[in-house]
Structure 1
Amino acid sequence: MPGSDPEKRAQNLLEQFQKEELENDDVFHSLSPCNLDEEEELEISGAQEFSLFQEELVAEQLTYMDATLFKNVVPHHCLGCIWSRRDKQENKHLAQSIRATISQFNAVTNCVVSTVLDSRELKTRQRAKTLEKWIRIARQCRILNNFSSLKAIVSALQSTSVYRLKKTWACVPKDTMLMFEELSEIFSDCDNFATSRELLLKGVTHGTVPYLGTFLTDLVMLDTALQDYLEGGLINFEKRRRFPAFTRN
Structure 2
Amino acid sequence: MPQTTPYAGKFSPNPYTTTSGSPHPYSNSSGSPHPYSSSSNSSGSPHPHHYTPGPVETVYGGLCYHDNSLVSGSLEALIQHLVPTVDYFPDRSYIFTFLLSSRLFLHPYELMSRVCYMCLEQHRTMDPQIDRRRIREIAPKIVQLLTEWTETFPYDFRDERMMRSIKDLTHRLALGDELSRRAMQRVTQRLLRKLTTLGQYEESLVAAGNAPVEKLTAQKAKQQAARREDVMSMCSDPFVLAQQLTHIEMERLSYIGPEEFVYAFALKGPQDNRKLFFNKRRASNLEAYVDWFNRLSYLVATEICTPVKKKQRARILEFFIDVARECFNIGNFNSLMAIITGMNMSPVSRLKKTWSKVDTAKFDILEHQMDPTSNFYNYRTALRGATQRCLTAQTSREKIVIPFFSLFIKDIYFLNEGCVSRLPNGQVNFEKFWELAKQVSEFLSWRLSACPFERERKTLQYLLSTPVFSDDELQLASYESEGPENNIERDTRRSLRSSLYRA
TM-score, structure 1 normalization? 0.72
The residue aligned with 1:147 is 333
Q: Is 1:82 aligned to 2:264, yes or no?
A: yes
Q: Deviations over 1:123-180 (max 9, x none)?
A: 222111110111111111111111111110011101111111111101112xxx1110
The residue aligned with 1:50 is 232
Decide whether the 8 Å contact of 1:145 with 1:203 is kept in 2.
Answer: yes
The residue aligned with 1:106 is 294
Q: Distance in 2 between matches of 1:180 and 1:169?
A: 11
Q: Distance in 1 between matches of 2:328 and 2:269?
A: 32
AA paired with 1:197? R
The residue aligned with 1:30 is none
Q: Is 1:134 aligned to 2:134, yes or no?
A: no
The residue aligned with 2:416 is 223
Q: Distance in 1 between matches of 2:354 and 2:225?
A: 26
Q: Distance in 2 between matches of 1:43 and 1:167?
A: 20
Q: Is 1:188 aligned to 2:381, yes or no?
A: no
Shift of 1:112: 0.4
Quick one: which of 295, 301, 305 aligns to 1:117? 305
Q: Name the larger-Rg structure.
A: 2
Q: Distance in 2 between matches of 1:102 and 1:57?
A: 23
Shift of 1:211: 1.4
AA paired with 2:325? R
The residue aligned with 1:239 is 432
Deviates more, 1:228-237 or 1:135-144: 228-237
User: Which runs of 5 or more structure 2 residues have no equivalent in the other structure?
Assistant: 2-223, 391-397, 442-503
SS across alignment from 2:375 = coil
Q: Distance in 2 between matches of 1:86 and 1:46?
A: 44
TM-score, structure 2 normalization? 0.37
Quick one: which of 394, 399, 403 aligns to 1:210? 403
Quick one: which of 178, 185, 194 aligns to 2:361? 178
Decide whether the 8 Å contact of 1:138 with 1:150 is kept in 2.
Answer: yes
Q: Deviations over 1:202-227 (max 9, x none)?
A: 11213211111111101111211211
SS across alignment from 1:188 = coil
Decide whether the 8 Å contact of 2:415 with 2:436 is kept in 1.
Answer: no
Decide whether the 8 Å contact of 1:229 with 1:235 is kept in 2.
Answer: yes
Among all aligned residue pairs of Structure 1 and Structure 2, give the percentage whose two residues are the same amino acid. Answer: 26
SS across alignment from 1:230 = coil
SS across alignment from 1:232 = coil
Deviates more, 1:86-95 or 1:226-235: 86-95
Q: Deviations over 1:101-127 (max 9, x none)?
A: 1122122111101111115xx122211
Judging changes above 3 Å, is the alpha-carbon distance between structure 1 residues 42 and 210 closer, same or farther for their aligned structure 2 residues? closer
AA paired with 2:403? P
Q: Which has the higher contact order (CA 8 A, sep 6+)?
A: 1
The residue aligned with 1:198 is 381
RMSD between superposed Cα atoms in Å: 2.8
User: Which runs of 5 or more structure 1 residues have no equivalent in the other structure?
Assistant: 2-40
Q: Distance in 2 between matches of 1:87 and 1:215?
A: 24
AA paired with 1:236? N
Q: Which aligned pairs between 1:58-97 and structure 2 lie closer than 5 A?
A: 58-79=241-262, 82-83=264-265, 96-97=284-285
